[in-house]
Amino acid sequence: MKRVIVGLSGGVDSSVAAYLLKEQGYEVIGLFMKNWHDDSVTISNECPWLEDSNDAMIVADKLGIPFQVVDLSEQYKERIVDYMFKEYEMGRTPNPDVLCNREIKFDVFLKIAKELGADYVATGHYCRKGEEDINEESVYKLLAGADINKDQSYFLCQLSQQQLAKALFPIGELTKPEVRKIAAEQDLITADKKDSQGLCFIGKVRLPEFLQQKLKPKEGVIVRIPQDSEIFDRLIPEFETKESELEFFATKYSYNAGDGKVVGKHQGAHYFTKGQRKGLAVGGMKEPLFVIETDVVENVIYAGEGKTHSGLFRNVLFVSNEEIHWVRKDLKLENGDFMEVKSRIRYRQKLEKAILYKVEKGMYVQFKNPQSAITEGQFVAWYVKDELLGSGVIS
């Protein structure tokens, strides 16, 4: 009998995952990961992890499976929180959920599972796993979830073959309504529970306050760049090579404080991210202002009016060699190779046609259509059909 450790988060998805595994004849153990101690930056007084671990325990009890809480807050602080501070400080925007899966759920947690004699770890992610024999080796595939509205393969885009080999995604073939229906039929306490928002199982965190613990507020100006600024009329040269063309279009617009007019103040450029609308608190415009660039050195935020502002759009991005990750190592591109894919630069985005170009210093991703708010530090993931082949950090 194979033993599976399920990460029970106290939500409906992982509850149903545990139930299904038990039905499939696995020996199931539920573990709740506690990753956060500092309640000073959570939004509400209710302590989310206490409530969640309690719900997880009630579900485990109902299913008749062993349950325990593991405290991973030290590793979480080291690998996720410290990394987030560092990225924000450099003016990049990290994705803690992707990291959390790579570093915590399928690394620290996986090690604990192995110590408990587990054959697999399982989570309540909406994605599927495939397997194929290629050159007499088992190759694992990360496939999109059957529920197109909930597909979470993007969050797992940094997993390796070794991690996928040990992973199970029991609800990957189901839709969210089906999952809730099963939970209700089995009378699980989490059946109607709202989906958790906020940082990967920290609970609801106010991001600026969270960041202010380490990154001190520093007043600066917000400069509005007009839509008809000549910055956007850059002359497109004749390109001698495909690489020089890609490099040109991957280069972001650069602004100076003199390129527009000061329309407001902010408390620190490192709290803001490209494409952000909330928190600018500047009134009197025809259309809302969006952040088009942040300069953490000069502490200036550049903003543009409306979500179709030229400063928001580019169709090429670059990933440096050390940030390229292939889930399917056997399909990895060599220098000079290219590949037609579908790609996304954020979780909620529909897949867009793109071409990957591998060059000596890294890889370019050229989208057919311009993309809004390509943000350094976020992950770009690429797919062929419904399989996620790899990902990288946007530089």
What confidence score (pLDDT) does residue 211 get?
A: 80
> Does this chain's domain 3-212 share its CATH topology with 217-395?
no
Query: Is 200 a known active-site residue?
Result: yes
What confidence score (pLDDT) does residue 201 get?
A: 45
What confidence score (pLDDT) does residue 150 get?
A: 93
What confidence score (pLDDT) does residue 204 get?
A: 55
pLDDT tens-digit readout, 85-110? 899 999 999 998 899 999 999 999 99
CATH class of 3-212: alpha beta
Mean pLDDT over the full length of the chain:
93
Alpha carbons 162 and 372: distance in angstroms, whole number: 34
Which of 47, 100, 127, 157 is catalytic? The answer is 100
* Domain boundary assignment for the chain: 3-212, 217-395
Domain spanning 217-395: CATH 2.40.30.10: yes
Quickly count: other Cβ atoms within 10 Å of residue 7's Cβ. 24
Low-confidence ranges of the chain (pLDDT < 70): 37-47, 197-208
Q: Which residues contact 237 (CB under 8 A, 6 or more apart)?
A: 248
Tokens 């940030």: give the residue. 323
Alpha carbons 169 and 175: distance in angstroms, whole number: 13
* Sequence-ordered strand ranges (E) for 239-386: 261-266, 289-295, 300-305, 313-320, 324-326, 338-344, 352-359, 362-372, 379-384
Residue 177 in tokens: 């309504």
What confidence score (pLDDT) does residue 209 get?
A: 73
Dmax of the chain from CA atoms? 69
What confidence score (pLDDT) does residue 163 get?
A: 97
Alpha carbons 199 and 197: distance in angstroms, whole number: 7
Which of 47, 127, 157, 200 is catalytic? The answer is 200
Query: Is 100 a known active-site residue?
Result: yes
Check residue 190 and report its DSSP letter: T
